[in-house]
């Protein structure tokens, strides 16, 4: 946005509010819809604690703050499954109160997300150590196969000599 744009007020937040959502939408549906404007790194669809059903609103965080401008401009006032949805910027997103109640694994997922982590490069020595038993086993199988083939050839040549 430009310096005169009202979006500039929210330049420090990559979070958006989504309201008026159809109740049947899941987190996956919303990620599919909102990811057309940027990489979604976190979503919090608010659900009823007892039934687990969506309450029709939630919060979403983009990797890049500029994606919030695109989604607000394009999806605010959009009619989705017969309902007009609201998409707006948020100055500061507060983590849910019940985050402290989560066990360590769920807390880690909530904080870090589920994006794949980079795999550390292993040294060639480690690879050689891991592959050595496999190669050894493979060469033993090949030797047995060769020996078996030799026996078959020898048996066939003996049969030919006897005839």
Rounded Cα distance, 41 and 112, in Å? 9
Q: Output the pLDDT for position 117.
A: 54
Q: Output the pLDDT for position 86.
A: 96
Q: How far is CA 93 from CA 37, 44, 67, 118, 134, in A?
A: 20, 11, 16, 27, 52
40 burial class (0-12, 13-18, 19+ CB within 10 angstroms)?
buried
Q: Output the pLDDT for position 104.
A: 67
pTM for the structure as a whole: 0.57
Q: Output the pLDDT for position 78.
A: 94
Read off the pLDDT of residues 113-156 as tens digits, 9 standing for 90 and up.
544 555 566 555 655 666 666 566 666 667 777 777 777 777 66
Read off the pLDDT of residues 5-36 as tens digits, 9 standing for 90 and up.
766 776 778 899 999 999 999 999 999 999 99
Three-state helix/strand/coil letters over the chain: CCCCCHHHHHCCCCEEEEECCCCCCCHHHHHHHHHHHCCEEEEEEEECCCCCCEEEEEEEEECCCHHHHHHHHHHCCCEECCEECEEEECCCCCCCHHHHHCCHHHHHHHHHCCCCCCCCCCCHHHHHHHHHHHHHHHHHHHHHHHHHHHHHHHHHHHHHHHC
Q: Among positive and negative, which fits the CA dihedral 19, 88, 64, 80?
A: positive
Q: Output the pLDDT for position 3.
A: 65
Q: Output the pLDDT for position 129.
A: 65
**Reported confidence tier of residue 1, pLDDT bands at 50, 70, 90:** very low
């Amino acid at each position: 946005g430009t310096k005169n744009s009202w979006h500039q007020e929210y330049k420090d937040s990559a979070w958006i509010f989504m309201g008026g959502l159809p109740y049947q939408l899941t987190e996956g549906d919303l990620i599919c819809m909102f990811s057309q404007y940027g990489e979604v790194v976190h979503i919090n669809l608010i659900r009823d604690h007892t039934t687990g059903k969506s309450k029709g609103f939630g919060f979403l965080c983009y990797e890049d703050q500029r994606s919030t401008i695109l989604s607000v401009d394009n999806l605010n006032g959009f009619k989705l499954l017969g309902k007009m949805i609201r998409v707006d910027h948020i100055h500061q997103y507060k983590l849910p109160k019940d985050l402290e109640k989560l066990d360590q694994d769920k807390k880690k997922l909530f904080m870090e997300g589920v994006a794949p982590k980079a795999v550390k490069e292993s040294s060639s020595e480690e690879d050689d150590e891991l592959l050595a038993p496999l190669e050894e086993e493979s060469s033993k199988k090949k030797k047995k196969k060769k020996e078996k083939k030799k026996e078959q050839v020898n048996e066939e040549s003996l049969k030919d000599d006897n005839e």
